[in-house]
Amino acid sequence: MEKMDYFRMDATAKVTMDSLKELYLLPQISRYQRLQTAYPCESPVEYNLYEGVARYGDTRRRIQLIGTYATGSRSFCWAWASPNPLPETVIQASLQLVAWAEAAKIESWGVIKGVCEPVEPVVVSSIAAGVLNHDYVFDVWEFTETLHGCVLVEHSDDLPKLGLHAVCRVLQTALRRLSARQKTPVLEYLRQEGFKLREEGSFCYGSRADGELTLTFDERGGVRQITPSH
C-alpha cells in the first residue's frame, strides 16, 4: 500500500472527531450510496477476508478490514487488535489509521487498547475512507446480527451519479451524525454534486438539471429542513 497523506486538512488545525466528520462524512457517505447504486443486488456477492478480496457484480475487488462493530455495546475493535488474527495484507489500512490517529492525538479512537466506544460504523468507515489517500469506498457488512464489519473496498472506477432524492438521503444520513456546524460542509458537498447555490437569509436554494433543493438553516448553521422539488 502507498503511504497515505496524513493531513489533507489544514495542518495547523486541531484534529477532532467533529472536524473529521465535517470534512469526510458527506463525500464518503455519498460514495457509499453510489456503490449501492452501482450494485443494486445484494453485495458483495461473496468475499474472503483472509485473501482480502470481495466480488461486486462480476468484478473481484481488493478490500481492507478496518475493524468490527458490536451492535450491543456500540464498541468498535480495530482489525489489527482482532482476537481472530488476519493476514497483515488485509489489515494494513487499520495499522496506518492507528499511526495517523496517534500522530493527530485523537485519544477517543482508543489506539492503545484497540477498542473505542461508543462509535458508529458509518462514522469510523467514512473517516477511514477519507483520511486514506486511496480509491476506497467504505462498506458495512453484517457478519452476524450483533457483529458488523467496517470494510474499505478498492474501487477506482467511476460510480453512478446520485439523483436528487438520493442526495437528500445522503444529507439526512450525514446530518444525524454532524455537529451544529453543518452549513459549510453541506454547501460544499452540494457544490461538488453540481448544484448552483443561492442564499437568501436562512434559506439556500440549490438547482441543477434534475431538480432543485431548498435548505433551511437555523441561527447556528444547522439544517432545519431539506425540501426537494417534485
Say yes or no to pLDDT of 224 above 70. Answer: yes
Please count the other Cβ atoms lying within 10 Å of the Cβ belonging to residue 5: 11
229 close to 211: Cβ distance less than 8 angstroms: yes
Please state whether 54 falls in left (phi above 0), alpha (psi between -120 and 50) or beta: beta
Q: What is the rounded distance in angstroms from the CA atom of residue 210 to the CA atom of residue 129?
A: 28
Count of CB atoms situated within 10 Å of the CB of 229 = 11
67: number of Cβ within 10 Å: 28
Q: At what angle do helices 164-175 and 183-192 cross, to 10 degrees?
A: 150
Instruction: Provide the sign of the torsion angle of the four alpha carbons 168, 16, 221, 74, taken in this order.
Output: positive
Cell numbers standing for residue 37: 447504486
Tell me the per-residue pLDDT of 166-222, one tens digit each, with 9 for 90 and over: 999 999 999 988 887 799 999 999 999 999 999 999 999 999 999 999 999 998 888
State pLDDT tens for residues 50-106. Answer: 999 999 999 999 999 999 998 888 888 889 888 888 999 999 999 998 888 878 777
Label residue 111 by pLDDT band (50, 70, 90).
low
Work out the mean pLDDT of the chain and round it to a whole number.
86
